[in-house]
Amino acid sequence: MSEPLHFVEIRHAQKSFGAVEVLKDISLNVERGQIVGIIGSSGSGKSTLLRAINDLDPLTGGEIWLDGVQVNKALPHRQYEKHINAMRQQVGMVFQHFNLFPHMTARENVTMAPKLLKGLSQSDADKLAEEQLDKVGMLERIDYYPSQLSGGQKQRVAIARALAMKPKMMLFDEATSALDPELVEEVNLVMKKLAEEHMTMIIVTHEMDFAASVCDRVLFMDKGIVVEEGPPEILFKNPSKERTREFLRKHIEGAK
Amino acid sequence: MDFDLMLKVYPFFLEAALTTIVLSVLTAILGLFCGALGAAARLSRFALLRFAGAAYVSLFRGTPALLQLFILYFGGPQIGIQLDAFEAGVIGLGINAGAYMTETIRGSIISIDKGQREAARTLGLSRWQATYKVILPQAARLMVRPLGVNLNMLVKATALVAAISVVELTYTAQRYIGSTYKPFEMFLLAGVLYMIIIYAVGRGVAWLDRKVQIT
């Protein structure tokens, strides 16, 4: 295979769960600093594609390249584990259900991995936690446990936790879908801030307005394929495919 | 009811209760050790270990503990295992308790949301790092109460070693019945002492459970 030309390259991604094919030959390139949104109904494969990028859901076919290195390369088990752990340190991920560690404070959630994997001293780790939690507006809750935080606050801490590893890119898997409507905005603001700093991001979302406002490019997925992709002003206002139009009609009307 | 007799013999019962306590503690330690190993095997990546763990659990939960003690103590010498009654009691009951604890520990571990492991792995933690930093601290808090139930059962199961003549509470009661012909009083005395031990265990477990909870 040829050397990658793009920051992220997904080449002919294919994924089956048993007999069900959830990703059908998807290819996608993302440039450094780009923000790509993925929309589509549930079951379209958008989360699976996102989770394939850091190998949470390993592909059954195809290749994923990040910054010149193949993520899912064939290696013996032990070597692969080492390789994938190193790759994952470069890719931050934010989940729908936050997945904060409930037995750790916000500070500990943020510092655990940098201390363990990068050998940060406690004082450096504390500085890092303050810096990252400040960035997401959670500094004053630094010693709170997740159970003492609202959903939006939890998600902001989860973003800080991912950023603390200084990732090259961030993956957002429906980061605001589990939040009460009034808490969505505070998380969106943090993501917008990252966008302004030119963090490379791939965002799976149900929020069309948000996708339209931050993404450079939006993909519409359906039944395991990318039906249509383009800049948001074209994809949302003037989609060329009937399936896209139908989805947007349902979704935007449904939201009103 | 012969209270005078009970007052006269109870110091010997206290001594026997001490044996029951020591037996329980040693059995609990061995049981926890076997349970941790068993749970690790049951949750292993390797099919052979998973099979071994499952076989251990079904073998020791699928046969009477009394029979297991008999096999170890009476049958052991035939295959070269020479143990005194106390040793056989601790080892037999400990391995038996370990089978129950295996399921308790495994249950607590698998009840942790899989998103926890995923979050740890996406940060770059290895499988083992995710287990000991994220999964086990949460599972340990969950397993205190159910392990307390195992411990309660275990204390009562120590009565079984009377059948291989370990001089603990139940055996002592039987022995005094032989000389006094007062089974009601003797068993009652043993029962009260068992209850006190079990009550203390229950309080200890409740205290530990409160202590490990997250705010």
- H-helix segments, A38-163: 46-53, 77-88, 106-118, 122-135, 151-163
Phi, psi of A234 (to 5 degrees): -85, -50
Chain A 120-159, residues with CB within 8 Å of chain B CB atoms = 145, 147-148, 158
In this predicted structure, what is the pLDDT of residue B134? 96
CB contact A178 to B (< 8 Å) = no
* pLDDT value, residue B8: 84
Determine how β-strand A69-70 pairs with β-strand A61-66.
Answer: antiparallel
Nearest CA to B140 out of A98, A110, A97, A103 is that of A103
Compute the C-alpha angle A59/A60/A66, nearest 5°.
35
Per the CB < 8 Å rule, is A85 touching B125? yes
Rounded Cα–Cα distance for residues A211 and A203 (Å)? 8
- B116 interface with A at CB cutoff 8 Å: yes
pLDDT by residue for chain B (215 residues), tens digit each? 788 887 888 888 899 999 999 999 999 999 999 999 999 999 999 999 999 999 999 999 999 999 999 999 999 999 999 999 999 999 999 999 999 999 999 999 999 999 999 999 999 999 999 999 999 999 999 999 999 999 999 999 999 999 998 889 999 989 989 888 888 888 999 999 999 999 999 999 999 999 988 76
User: At A193, phi and psi to the nearest 5?
Assistant: -60, -45
Give the residue from B34, B63, B27 showing the smallest Cα distance to B168.
B27
B11 touches chain A (CB under 8 A): no
Q: Which of B119, B129, B138 sits opposite A103 (nearest CB)?
A: B138
Residue numbers in A near B129 (CB within 8 A):
116
Cβ of B137 and A103 within 8 Å? yes
Q: Do A113 and B116 touch (CB under 8 A)?
A: no
CATH number, position B63: 1.10.3720.10
Q: Are the C-beta atoms of A192 and A35 separated by less than 8 Å?
A: no
Question: Which of these, A230, A186, A238, A183, lies nearest to A211 by C-alpha position?
Answer: A230
Q: Is B120 within 8 Å of chain A by CB?
A: yes
DSSP assigned state of B112: S
Please report where in the chains the tokens 């992709």 appear, as a residue. Answer: A229
- Tracing tokens 């009652």 back to the chain, one arrives at B188
Q: How many domains does chain B have?
A: 1
pLDDT of residue A256: 46
Q: Which residue numbers in chain A have pLDDT < 50? A: 256
Shortest distance, CA A116 to any CA of chain B (angstroms): 8
Give B191 to chain A, closest Cα distance, Å: 41
pTM: 0.87
Q: Which residues of B touch A92 (CB under 8 A)?
A: 122
ipTM of model:
0.91
Q: Which domain holds residue B177?
A: 3-212
Which residue of chain B has the CA closest to A103? B214
